[in-house]
Amino acid sequence: MDPLALALIELGAVVFALGLLARLAERIGMSPIPLYLLGGLGFGAGGIVKLDGMHEFAHLSGEIGVILLLLMLGLEYTAAELVTGLRRSWQAGVMDLVLNFAPGAGVALLLGWGLVGAIVMGGVTYISSSGIAAKVITDLGRIGNRETPVVLAILVFEDLTMAVYLPILTAILAGVGFLGGLQTVGIALAVVTVVLLVALKHGHRVSQAVHSENSEVFLLNVLGLALLVAGLASALQVSAAVGAFMLGIAISGATAHNATRILEPLRDLFAAIFFVAFGLNTDPSTIPPVLLFALLLALLTAATKMLTGIWAAKQAGIAMPGRFRAGAALIARGEFSIVIAGLAVTSGAVPRELAALATAYVLLMAVIGPLAARFVEPVVKVIRKPRPALAGAR
């Protein structure tokens, strides 16, 4: 068959199937990310049917998906909110980093994947899914709860940590030497600092530069600038994802709101293809050997995220039910964990088994997280329910 015709048929079938999976996820009240990953596993290397025609498009689309995910994550925050959140949450953020980075790094060392594998898996288990957390909080009507600002502050700290972690990871995966690595990290920190300063003092000018009342012009301006900035950041080895994230921070006010609205369908499309592409490149036969490790990691890091949220909420003076709600909201892992694993596996610097472990882990956590958030409050109420006094007790 003609290669173009084959690519179009495969792409159309995949996108249509993604729509069906998203509808199924909506009906059962869960994130579609696990279903996208399972779809990719079923039709990739070692799957039921191997899709050869769309690999090149899937790779580029996946990169665009990562850029849009990070751009829109940045659009959710202003520079002032980031700085304020960092000041308020740094203690909980450090605790979160230590408790949740260590399990992934430890398992990678146990499996013999070396220091690079440990740094990658530490990032996979550390970062919560902002998208899943936000959806869960919204769906459960907890936006106005006292613990919600605590959860958001920790998520902000994690996002800022990623702005430093990703350039370091990129340098390590590229095999850059010690001095080159220091230079890369220095450039990344300088870029982050400059963008924050520009966003604080001149964010309105950046917003004016991309804003337009014409939705077509607005879309082209924002998307084009995002791709341009991501490409320049990648050329500087700062990470395209960080470049997109920092651009999102620089855009503020009504422009940020309008950009989110107009980019959301594109983000959903390309992000879905990114998750499928990750699954396509993961051989399902490599998952069973690491499934036990994935399950142990899931249970351990669910507990450590709970501890983080409980402690942070307690420091804010929030009552017991709110503390447990805060912890449960942080459990889910998703888009960022797959982004980290995808960067590592694509570079060839880590074993392909790492992709299998990351896939299995995210599949588990993307399901456990929303379920824990939904049922933690009834469980706490049962635990705290006063026991009836025994007959005849004085």
Please name the helix (run of DSSP H) or strand (run of DSSP E) that holds residue 301, with its range, or none. Answer: helix 288-315
Q: How far apart are CA 365 and CA 298, in angstroms?
A: 6
Q: Is residue 281 a contact partner of residue 345, using CB atoms and an 8 Å limit?
A: yes
Question: Could you write out the DSSP letters of every residue in 196-260?
Answer: HHHHHHHHHHHHHHH--SSHHHHHHHHHHHHHHHHHHHHHTTS-HHHHHHHHHHHS-HHHHHHHH
| 11-60 tens-digit pLDDT | 888 889 889 988 988 888 777 888 888 888 777 665 566 666 666 777 78
Note the pLDDT of residue 390: 46
CA distances in angstroms from 379 to 239, 317, 371, listed in the order given = 42, 21, 12
Residue in the block written with tokens 């991501």: 230
Note the pLDDT of residue 44: 65
First to last CA, the chain: 86
What structural domains does the chain harbor? 3-379 (1.20.1530.20)
Residue in the block written with tokens 């998703």: 334
Report the alpha-carbon angle 122-82-268, nearest 5. Answer: 65
215-235 and 240-250 helices cross at what angle (nearest 10)? 140
Assigned token pair, 129: 């899914």
Note the pLDDT of residue 41: 79
Note the pLDDT of residue 392: 47
Assigned token pair, 236: 């500087």
Residues of the chain with pLDDT under 70: 1, 44-55, 79, 81-82, 85-86, 176-182, 184-185, 188, 195, 237-239, 381, 383-394
Note the pLDDT of residue 384: 63
Q: How far apart are CA 313 and CA 311, in angstroms?
A: 6
